[in-house]
Chain A
Amino acid sequence: MEKQLEKIIRRVQKPGRYSGGEWNTVCKDWQSTYIKMAFAFPDVYEVGMSHLGLQILYGIVNGREDALLERVFAPWPDMEQQMRNTGLPLFSLESRRPLREFDIIGFTLQYELSFSNILNMLDLAGIPLRSADRAGGDYPMIVAGGPCAFNPEPMAEFIDVFAIGEGEELLNDLLDAYLASRRSSEGRQDLLIRLAGIDGIYVPALYRVEYNNLGHINTVTSVCEGVPAQVQKRFVADVDAAFFPTHMVVPAIEAVHDRAMLEVQRGCTRGCRFCQAGVIYRPVREKEPEILLRHADELLGSTGWGEISLTSLSTSDYSRVTPLVNELIKRHGSAGVNVSLPSLRVDAFSVDLAKEVQKVRRSSLTFAPEAGTQRLRDVINKGVTEDNLIAAVDAAFSAGWHSIKLYFMIGLPTETDEDLHGIANLARKVLDRGRKLVRVKGRLKVTVSVSSFVPKSHTSFQWEPQNSIAELKRKQALLRELLRGRGLVFKWHDPEGSFLEAVLSRGDRRLAGAIEAAWRNGARFDGWSEFFDINKWLMAFTSTGIDPDWYAYHRYHYDDALPWDHISSGVSKKFLMREHLCSLEGATTPDCRSGRCHGCGLCVSLEAKPYLAGGEAIASLSDTVQ
């Protein structure tokens, strides 16, 4: 294998993706370690190595005496071709062993458009795609977690076990149970039943889906005792005590985000109605600054990275962000370490913060107003006003930035052309402010980047249809017209990818055949525009008798059973309904940090509470809609 690998690795574009041997890699003894697990990232190395979750789970499993975790990424098409030509099976980076030799393979489901890569990786590993076809043989158990596991149904036929929610504690529970099961010499079925009893574990084969005469889902029921009717997500109650990887693996070839990641908090309190992350990572839990500073010291010392990024959903919301940033600069600035803030709120405070950390105004500053009019921003509950945006860009232009990026979504519920004109108007106002404040006018640039709204499970907009591809194209064309002119740049994505995302994100078990057919038609790296070909998918839907339009464009009723109803994020469906009704009236719901609980149901159902650094309480915990 080694010789064969050396031979093919010299024939691919970037051999560093497959060679392993990075700094902080853990190579444990194969023979003496009980559980061998592979972490499989269904995208290319440079993307996967930018993912914090990988680093966390790598540290947790390799920190156990009885288990090892090795990494594998989706081979780029040139490597896949070499592997198929030579019959080299998919292998792990650490020990270069075929994936089939592992006990457990864990996939992360970060985005729907990586599903075809999961099938491809299983196939390259010589593992049957479907759970049912693996039952007889001695194959690794296939586990999947991550945000897309919150609607696991489209992948239910391929995955043995889904891990719902945060993995720090859940993965340990899973490994413990796996070990116990092996010690009592249980077969695969008994193991699965044992695992299904763990909070946060969903074993799809143990649930039966029944459909009504319209072909809609009627009920989803567990088929055996001890298997819960509804699976509750797991979350880490005490983020300060949770494991944090201070010895991250440093990629050998430049990753997309090639820097130290310091997670300052988990969850977001803003409650944007389109946002799935804002729901599934509730409640907000801030880390204590002293702990973060200690982690930063260790992280920078052990990796040598020259940049540290404060990651979270909305970093400027972290209540101790200013003192933390100042202290990080004080401690590490003289060694040439930069602090970066990847997700900034739209306001002057955030710009001041960005100014603090960027000694050199090199790149542009990005804000996400998401919608062009106040009406629509109220519909989506994006708590940003035009005044906020103008104050933010004024601060940015005055501080020396001359390039601003604005992110918007099109195709949002209730959107009209007036809202699109609003996007253009807003961009022009920003440009006007720049003309007044930027000294070198020739360098002034306002980039408008629009993505297409995709309804996601567990959000207030889960019932909403997506705009048709034709309608999204019309809207993009209109914006292109409206955004002509010096200093303005318009960027958009092809809506076909968003359409597929909508089909998969609200899909059910019946999509399995279509996903497999698309993969057989050659679908790979669907998130990459140079590879994505909607026709491979459309052919797959036709050949398997699936109407993708129904999945993307269907408006669900409140009393419809949804394909993901048996998976709980802790937020009640009642709350989501109420939020949806509010959105249609343009009524906003305040930030959960404001101190008023609006009763999403999470704290009650999961016995959780939001936590701010220093132990400050934010919301009263009495719930109003239970």
Chain B
Amino acid sequence: MPRYRIQYSKRGPASYISHLDLVRTLERAFRRAGLPIAYSEGFNPHPRFSFAAPLPVGVEGLAEVLDVEMQVSVDHRDLAERLNGALPPGLAVLDVTVVSDNTPAPMAELNMAGYIVHLDEDDLPGPLPAGAVQDFLIEEHIEVTRKGRDGREKIRDIRPGILKLDVLSQVNGLTMQLELQTGSTLNVRPEDVVEVFFRHAGMAVDKADLQIIRTRLF
């Protein structure tokens, strides 16, 4: 069945749509646009969507990636235009390309993500000490604790998944740029990195204060 790779943004009110709800939202948008998507076989057919990496609730995505299989061939420009006419505010298609059957799924192809993280002045615990970034990145192991699905706490080393960490600006708060590994082998969350970075510098931030944008997947 014809497969298309859709690059889209998820911003504003749409950034609060959870991944599961996004699947429903897109399914309905395709219906409204009169674009018949393919469904899986079985008792509970679900749409043939394949996402690169689910976006956490509250994080804006500027260039997310999704593959969709259609029941029929559609001109890719037409697909973009019609879908854009049926998406709720905050969701927008940026680009559509036809992908061949043997192209790996986006999740397999894309396992890095770029982020911009901003903290307002009021939420900053204080100025960053000089050399905080180098001191952090020099560590060979950076451990974070997270509750697993079974409820037990798991300690993981996320250092190998941190490709880049930079301070972009310290005007009107703090703006950082991150490049992190994403996917099933090691999924590093930006809020974890920022929290542990501040802790390393002897300060504490509230994760809920972080304004996070995912700029790209690569």
Contact = CB atoms under 8 A, between A and B. Distances in A.
Interface string A277-304: 0000000000000000000000011111
Contacts of A20: 13
Contact of A250 (B20, B28, B30): B28
A304 B88 contact: no
A305 B28 contact: yes
Q: How large is the interface on A (under 10, 10 to 19, 20 to 34, 35 or more residues)?
A: 20 to 34
Contacts of A7: 208-209
Interface in A298-330: 300-306
Contacts of A254: 20-21, 24
Nearest to B212: A10
Contact of B25 (A6, A252, A335, A360): A252
Interface in B48-99: 57-58, 86, 88-90
A21 interface: yes
Given A21-B88, A254-B24, A15 B16 contact: yes
Given A11-B208, A16-B18, A21 B12 contact: yes
B31 A335 contact: yes
B28 A253 contact: no
Contacts of A305: 28, 31
A33 B58 CA distance: 32
A16 B17 CA distance: 6
A550 B2 CA distance: 69
Contacts of B44: 360, 362
A383 B29 CA distance: 44
Contacts of B32: 23, 301-304
Contact of A15 (B45, B57, B88, B209): B57
Nearest to B22: A252
Per DSSP, chain A at the interface is loop
Given A20-B13, A336-B39, A360-B43, A304 B21 contact: no
Contacts of A304: 27-32, 86
B108 to A, nearest CB: 28
A306 B27 contact: yes
Q: How large is the interface on B (under 10, 10 to 19, 20 to 34, 35 or more residues)?
A: 20 to 34
A333 to B, nearest CB: 13
Contact of A306 (B14, B31, B86, B211): B31
A306 to B, nearest CB: 7
Contacts of B36: 335
A306 B86 CA distance: 15
Which of A9, A23, A250, A305 lies at the interface centre, i.e. has the most chain B CB atoms within 10 A of its CB? A23
Interface in B88-135: 88-90
Contacts of A303: 28, 32
A21 B14 contact: yes
B39 A252 contact: no
Contacts of B14: 21, 252
A16 B27 CA distance: 18
B147 to A, nearest CB: 16
A374 to B, nearest CB: 39
Given A304-B32, A362-B44, A10 B27 contact: no
Given A9-B16, A15-B58, A362-B43, A21 B89 contact: yes
Contact of A10 (B20, B45, B58): B58
A544 interface: no
Interface in A1-59: 6-7, 9-11, 14-16, 19-23
A14 B17 CA distance: 9
Interface string A236-260: 0000000000000010111000100
B208 A252 contact: no
Contact of B16 (A16, A300, A302): A16
Contacts of B86: 304
Given A21-B89, A305-B28, A335-B31, A253 B17 contact: yes
Contact of A252 (B58, B88, B209, B211): B88
A251 to B, nearest CB: 9
Contacts of A15: 16, 57-58
A10 B27 CA distance: 26
B1 to A, nearest CB: 15
Contacts of A9: 16, 58
Contacts of A11: 208
B160 to A, nearest CB: 28
A467 B24 CA distance: 45
Contacts of A14: 18
A105 to B, nearest CB: 23
B93 to A, nearest CB: 15
B12 A306 contact: no
A429 B90 CA distance: 55
A547 B53 CA distance: 58
A14 B21 CA distance: 11
B72 to A, nearest CB: 13
5 contacts: A15-B58, A16-B21, A252-B21, A304-B32, A305-B31
Interface of A: 6-7, 9-11, 14-16, 19-23, 250, 252-254, 258, 300-306, 335-336, 360, 362
Given A21-B12, A23-B25, A360-B44, 20 more contacts: A7-B208, A14-B18, A15-B16, A16-B16, A16-B18, A16-B57, A19-B16, A21-B90, A22-B88, A23-B32, A250-B28, A253-B18, A254-B21, A254-B24, A258-B24, A303-B28, A304-B29, A304-B30, A306-B28, A306-B31
The 3 closest A-B pairs by CB, nearest first: A21-B13, A304-B28, A304-B31
